[in-house]
């Protein structure tokens, strides 16, 4: 396992619990140290030691940030591997990069699997959803590992198709996730805003979890944190976007397929990051210019609830 951050380390632990022997590497000494003492897991200090520690044919699973860091890791790793070895990219890479990488690695005789991983911090205990692409031979090679990582050996994982398909499916998965999160957030905001009804949004979330059409894991998580704090006054209204939502929206444009919910959910994340502030200032000035509508200045609005 290369990359022992929050996801990679927990995946290593789950594999070890299932009986696999895992060799871990991370460029950060603290990340390596955190895995020391875990039964079934060992760590090494460099890539060369990692290769020597694994019997051939090797399976090397990457859980590193997409982009330049993935490119650098592959460049360091690939020349050291042998034909029939398998590299699994479990990061959130763009599927077109995965298609390219599969071709490049094939020139070394190295098999490549692109694997979308979902499950977050809960994956260690509950298992991960795994959607992967690659040749049938590469898929068969990682199947024993996938069965240990998944919620159960026979569900929660799928060989989606050829190289690139796993990361493509994960990209769409994350776009859908954006839409589901946005719709739940807007619904609860409307209920919270209906002050005259005095609605208990925590109680409503809990009730919806049982028998409702909208019940889901996202709703379960929402009910849990609303139960602890339904006001959320200390939470900054800023929502980051990881990149996959953008790729999903761009894919919709490329295909000419309407995806307004997924696209608008992405745009709302941009708005939460302050990227719409200048737009709003322009709108305020336009209203003032054509209708003489009052403009609020920062000093006037600073005391208002955000």
Q: State the DSSP string of 241-286.
A: --SHHHHHHHHHHHHT---HHHHHHHHHHHHHTTTTHHHHHHHHHH
- The one catalytic residue among 170, 186, 254, 304: 170
* Structure confidence at residue 304 (pLDDT): 52
| Cα distance between residue 133 and residue 230, in whole Å | 41
Which residues neighbour 213 within 8 Å (Cβ) at sequence distance 6 or greater?
none
| Cα distance between residue 65 and residue 171, in whole Å | 15
| Cα distance between residue 71 and residue 254, in whole Å | 25
| Cα distance between residue 13 and residue 34, in whole Å | 11
Give, as one character, the DSSP assignment of residue 195. G
Under 8 Å between Cβ of 103 and 73: no
Domain annotation for the chain: domains and CATH numbers: 6-162 (3.40.50.720), 171-275 (1.10.1040.10), 282-306 (no CATH)
Outline where the chain has alpha helix (H). 6-17, 29-35, 47-53, 68-77, 95-106, 123-126, 136-149, 165-193, 201-208, 217-228, 244-255, 260-272, 277-291, 298-301
Give, as one character, the DSSP assignment of residue 58. P
Phi/psi-derived region of residue 129, left when phi > 0, alpha when psi is between -120 and 50, beta in every other case: beta
Q: Is the dihedral of CA 160, 120, 246, 175 positive or negative?
A: positive
Radius of gyration of the chain (CA): 23
For residue 104, give both structure tokens.
């490049």
* Structure confidence at residue 305 (pLDDT): 43
112: burial class by Cβ within 10 Å (0-12, 13-18, 19+)? buried
Report the DSSP pairing between strands 22-24 and 59-62: unpaired
- The one catalytic residue among 104, 177, 186, 206: 177
Is residue 275 flagged as an active site residue? no
Residue 7's SS3 state is: helix
| Cα distance between residue 132 and residue 39, in whole Å | 28
**H/E segment holding residue 85:** none
For residue 138, give both structure tokens.
């590469």
- The parts of the chain modelled with pLDDT lower than 50 are 305-306
Q: How many residues in the chain?
A: 306
Kindly report the pTM of this predicted structure: 0.91
């Amino acid at each position: 396992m290369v990359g022992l951050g929050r996801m990679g380390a927990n995946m290593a632990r789950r594999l070890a619990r299932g009986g696999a022997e895992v060799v871990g590497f991370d460029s950060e000494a603290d990340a390596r140290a955190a895995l020391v003492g875990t039964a079934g897991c060992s760590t090494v200090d460099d890539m060369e030691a990692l290769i020597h520690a694994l019997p051939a044919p090797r399976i090397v699973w990457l859980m590193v940030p997409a982009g330049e860091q993935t490119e650098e890791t592959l460049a360091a790793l690939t020349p050291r591997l042998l034909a029939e070895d398998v590299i699994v990219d479990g990061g959130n890479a763009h599927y077109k990069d995965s298609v390219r990488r599969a071709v490049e690695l094939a020139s070394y005789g190295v098999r490549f699997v692109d694997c979308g991983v979902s499950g977050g911090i809960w994956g260690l205990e509950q298992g991960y959803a795994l959607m992967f692409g690659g040749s049938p031979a590469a898929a068969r090679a990682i199947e024993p590992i996938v069965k240990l990582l998944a919620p159960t050996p026979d569900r929660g994982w799928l060989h989606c198709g050829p190289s690139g398909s796993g990361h493509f499916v994960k990209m769409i998965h994350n776009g859908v996730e954006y839409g589901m999160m946005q719709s739940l957030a807007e619904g609860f905001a409307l209920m919270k805003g209906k002050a005259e009804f005095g609605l208990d949004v925590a109680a409503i979330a809990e009730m919806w979890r049982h028998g409702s059409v909208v019940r889901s894991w996202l709703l379960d998580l929402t009910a849990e944190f609303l139960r602890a704090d339904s006001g959320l006054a200390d939470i900054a209204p800023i929502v980051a976007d990881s990149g996959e939502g953008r790729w999903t929206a761009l894919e919709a444009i490329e295909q000419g397929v309407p995806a307004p919910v997924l696209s608008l959910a992405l745009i709302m994340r941009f708005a939460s990051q302050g990227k719409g502030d200048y737009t709003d200032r322009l709108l305020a000035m336009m209203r003032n210019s054509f209708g003489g509508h009052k403009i609020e200045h920062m000093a006037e609005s600073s005391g208002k609830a955000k």
